[in-house]
Amino acid sequence: MSCDVPRYLVPFHPKRIPHHFADVLIIGGGIAGLRAAMEIDPRLSLLVITKDAMEQSNSAFAQGGIASVIDPEDNFASHVEDTLAAGANLCDREVVEMVVREAPQHIRQLIDWGTNFDTEHGELMLGREGGHSHRRIVHALGDATGHEVMRAMIQRARSTLDAQIWPNTFTIDLLTHEGRCRGALVWHAQHGRTFVWAKQTILCTGGAGQIYRETTNPEVATGDGVALAYRAGAEVRDMEFMQFHPTVLYIAGGSRSLITEAMRGEGARLIDSTGRRFMPDYDERAELAPRDVVSHAIVAQMEKTRQPSVFLNLSHLDPERVRKRFPGIARTCAEFGIDIATDPIPVRPGAHYMIGGVAVDHGGQTTLPGLWAAGEVTASGLHGANRLASNSLLEGLVYGAHAGAGASAAAHAETDSFRAIPLENAPAEPHDEPLDLADIRNSLKSLMWRASGVRRHGQQLADAAQTIRRWCGYVLSRQLADPQGWELQNMLTIAGLMVESALEREESRGVHLRTDFPQADDEHWRRHLTVVRRE
C-alpha cells in the first residue's frame, strides 16, 4: 500500500505491561474460532479472545444455512462445479474439492454437538439458494441458522473446553520477533494493554462489512484481523473482491437486515417500482443467478427507474408457508408495517462478505510462521472472485478444524520457555489538534460505498485511493488510546488495500465490476493480487 502503515499502533515497553502465557491463542470466537478451539489438545493451555461478547459475530447473524451434499440425488461433483462457476475462474479447484468433501462430516458433528437443524419427516430439510443446482442448504430455526449453530457451539465450548475465554478484549497487534508470530498485544478491560505470548496464534476475526455505509454485518466486522496481519508482514490477497448481498432490507431508519437468498430459492421474485419482474432480462437463471449477477442487475434497475430500491415479492406463494419458513424476517418487516406474504419488501444491495483476506494454505497456515488463520478473515482460494451462497460457514468449519489441528501439533512440538521477548515501541510525538474519529469513520464508509461499491470506475477509485492515503497520513501516524481509534486505523488500512487492488485489477470478474473494463480478461487477470507490507 502506498501510504505508511506503522508496524505497531501503540507504544509499549515490556517492563511496564502485564504478561500472559498460552500455548495457543485464538483471536475470534465465531464459527471458525470455536471450531479451531475444539481441535486444540486439552493438555495445552488455550486462550480465546473476542472483542465483544462471544455471542456477537457474523456467524451468529447467518441466516440461510450451510451448504453440504446430503441428498442422495445430489453429488460432490455438482457442489464443486457450482462453487467453481460462481468463483469466475479464480477458485483453487483442490481447495474447493477438499471443502466440499469434508462438508457432510461437519454437519454430522454439529448435530452431535447439539445443533437442531430443521427437519421434515425425520430428515434434514434442504433449502436451495442462488447458484446451487440442488437443494443442499441445511438450516435451523427457519432463517436463523447462525444463531442456533453458535448457541450449540458456545455451549459445547463452555462445557467441554479447558480454555480461558476473554470476551470484550481488543487485539491491537500481533507480536513478531525474528520472522515469527509470538502472540499478540491486546487491550483487556481490567489489565489494560497486555502481552499475550503464544507458541501458536490462530486469527479468526471475521469480515469487514462495516467499512461500507450499507452493510449486513454487525458492528464487530471492521476487518481488524487483515489489518493486524498486514502490519505483521503476512501476505494478504484478493482484497478487491467484496461481495454485496443483493437483497438487504431498505427502510429509512430501520436496520439493514439481510433478506436471505433462501427466499428467492423458495420462489420470491424481484420486481421494480413499476411492479415489473426484471431478473429474466439480465440472466436466464433469473432470481437464482449468483449474487454478483443479481446485485449488478438490481443496481442497473434502480438506475433505470431512478428509485433507491427494488422489491421482493412473495404474494404468489402460500402465505402460511412463507410466514412459517421465514419467521425472523417476517417479524422484522412487521415492525415496519410490511407483511412479507402479501406486501412487496424494499431491498437493495449491501456489503456482505469479504472474499479477500490473509492468504492461507490448505492447512490454514499463513505466510508468517506461527500464525494460522481461518474463516472470513482469510483468502483460502475457496471462493475465487465470488462466494457461492452458504459456503462460508462451511469454510469456517473446515479451515477452523485444519488450523486448530495444525496449531495444536505445532504448539506440542515447542518446549515451554515462559520468557517475554524484549519488544518495544516508542511513543510518537504528541498532537495538539484532536481528531473527530466518528466523522472520519462516517466519511470513510460513504466514500467506500460511492467509489468501491457494486460498480467501480478507475477515476473514482484513483480519487478514493488518494483521499484514503491523505486520511491515513494523519490518522495512522497517531497513537490512539482506545478500541474505537484502533478500529478506525484498521478500517483505513484495509480500505486502502481494497481500493488500490480494485484500481489495479483492470477487468470485471465475479463481484468486481469495473464500468471502464466491463469484460473479464483471462489472459492478463486470471491471477491473484497479493500485498505484503515492507519494513
Farthest-apart Cα atoms in the chain, separation: 70
Q: How far apart are CA 343 and CA 284, in angstroms?
A: 26
User: For residues 132-191, which are near ligand FAD according to CB under 6 A?
Assistant: 145-146, 170-171
Burial class (CB in 10 A: 0-12, 13-18, 19+), 317: middle
Out of 220, 322, 444, 454, the residue judged to bind ligand FAD by CB under 6 A: 220
Interaction between residue 68 and ligand FAD (CB under 6 A): no
Residue indicated by cell numbers 406486501: 343
- Whether 223 contacts 231, CB under 8 Å: no
State which of residues 201, 205, 210, 309 lies at the interface with ligand FAD (CB under 6 A): 205
**Which of 531, 390, 375 has its CA nearest to residue 50?**
375
Give me the count of residues in the chain.
535
Q: Considering the complex, state which of residue 290 and residue 375 has its C-beta at the smaller distance from ligand FAD.
A: 375
Residue 224 binds ligand FAD, judged by CB under 6 A: yes
8 to 27: interface string for ligand FAD, x by CB under 6 A: -------------------x
Give the phi and the psi of residue 295 in degrees, each rounded to 5.
-60, -45
Contacts of 440 (CB under 8 A, 6+ apart): 471, 475, 488, 492
89: left (phi over 0), alpha (psi -120 to 50) or beta: left
> What is the sign, positive or negative, of the torsion defined by CA atoms of 226, 231, 235, 241?
positive
Residue with cell 441428498: 71
> What x/- string results for residues 231 through 260 when contact with ligand FAD is judged by CB under 6 A?
---------------------------x--
**What are the C-alpha distances in Å from 264 to residues 112, 236, 270, 390, 508?**
30, 34, 8, 14, 25
Choose the binding region for ligand FAD from 47-55, 236-244, 307-315, 505-513 (rule: CB under 6 A): 47-55
**Residue 425 DSSP label:** B
Which CB sits closer to ligand FAD, 33 or 406?
33
In a 3-state reduction of DSSP, which class is residue 98?
helix
Has 514 been annotated as catalytic? no
State whether residue 86 is helix, strand or coil.
helix
Q: Which of 157, 298 has the CB closer to ligand FAD? A: 157
Residues 137/143/147/150 CA torsion (nearest 10 deg): 0
Among 95, 94, 96, 123, smallest CA distance to 107 is for 123
Among 12, 61, 241, 471, binds ligand FAD (CB under 6 A): 61
User: Which candidate in 151, 213, 264, 291 is catalytic?
Assistant: 291
Minimum CB distance to ligand FAD, residue 461 (Å) = 25
- CB-CB neighbours of 409 under 10 Å: 13
Q: Is 214 in the site for ligand FAD (CB under 6 A)?
A: no
The reply on whether position 31 binds ligand FAD by CB under 6 A is: yes
Interface with ligand FAD, residue 212, by CB under 6 A:
no
In the complex with ligand FAD, the residue whose CB is nearer, 64 or 496, is 64
Handedness of CA 303, 305, 306, 309 (dihedral sign): negative
Query: Within positions 305 to 364, which residues make up the interface with ligand FAD, using CB under 6 A?
Result: 353
Q: Is 64 in the site for ligand FAD (CB under 6 A)?
A: yes
- Establish if 408 lies at the interface with ligand FAD (CB under 6 A): no
**How many angstroms separate the CA atoms of 285 and 531, rounded?**
36
Buried b (16+ CB within 10 A) or exposed e, 331-362: ebbeeeebebbebbbbbbbbbbbbbbbbbbeb
Determine which residue in the list 376, 411, 471, 492 makes contact with ligand FAD, applying CB under 6 A.
Answer: 376
Q: Which of 103, 242, 271, 393 binds ligand FAD (CB under 6 A)?
A: 393
32 makes contact with ligand FAD (CB under 6 A): yes
Binding mask 263-302 for ligand FAD (x = CB under 6 A): ----------------------------------------
Residue 396 interacting with ligand FAD (CB under 6 A): yes
Site string for ligand FAD, 474-513 (x = CB under 6 A): ----------------------------------------
Comparing CB distances to ligand FAD, the nearer of 382 and 411 is 382
Instruction: Report, in Å, the least distance between residue 392 CB and ligand FAD.
Output: 4
Q: How many residues bind ligand FAD (CB under 6 A)?
A: 44
Q: Kindly state the DSSP code that residue 415 receives in the 8-state scheme.
A: P
* Using rule CB under 6 A, residue 381 touches ligand FAD: no
Kindly list the catalytic residues: 291
Residues at the site binding ligand FAD, with contacts judged by CB under 6 A: 27-33, 49-52, 57-59, 61-66, 145-146, 170-171, 204-207, 216-217, 220-221, 224-225, 258, 353, 375-377, 390-393, 396
